[in-house]
Amino acid sequence: MVSTNEFKTGMTIAFEGNIYQIIEFLHVKPGKGSAFVRSKLRNLRTGAVIDHTFNAGTKVERAQIDKVGMQYLYANGEQHVFMNSETYEQIEINAAQIEHELQFIYEGMMVEVNFYNHEEILGLSIPEKVALEVIETVPGVRGDTKTNALKDAIVQTGLLVKVPLFIEQGEKIIVNTNDGLYVSREK
User: What tens digit of pLDDT does each residue of 125-157 get?
Assistant: 899 999 999 999 988 666 655 667 889 999 999
Amino acid letter, residue 116: Y
* Domain co-membership, 119 together with 71: yes
pLDDT for res 88: 92
* Domain co-membership, 10 together with 55: yes
* Domain co-membership, 121 together with 134: no
Report the distance separating Cα 70 and Cα 91, nearest Å: 9
* Domain co-membership, 171 together with 136: yes
Average the pLDDT over 107-136 and give the result: 91
Average pLDDT, the chain: 90
pLDDT for res 141: 65
* Domain co-membership, 9 together with 49: yes
CATH code at position 181: 2.40.50.140
Specify the 3-state DSSP secondary structure of 128. coil
DSSP-assigned states of every residue in 116-178: ETTTEEEEEE--SEEEEEEEEEPPPPTT--SS--EEEEEETTS-EEEEETT--TT-EEEEETT
* Domain co-membership, 115 together with 69: yes
Specify whether the CB–CB gap between 67 and 44 falls below 8 A: no
Average the pLDDT over 156-175 and give the result: 92
Specify the 3-state DSSP secondary structure of 135. strand
* Domain co-membership, 111 together with 139: no
* Domain co-membership, 58 together with 85: no
* Domain co-membership, 85 together with 40: no
Cα Rg of the chain, angstroms: 21
pLDDT for res 148: 74
Average the pLDDT over 66-81 and give the result: 93
- Range(s) of the domain holding residue 104: 65-125
The pTM of the full predicted model, rounded to 2 decimals, is 0.76
Specify the 3-state DSSP secondary structure of 102. helix
Instruction: Report DSSP state, residue 147.
Output: S
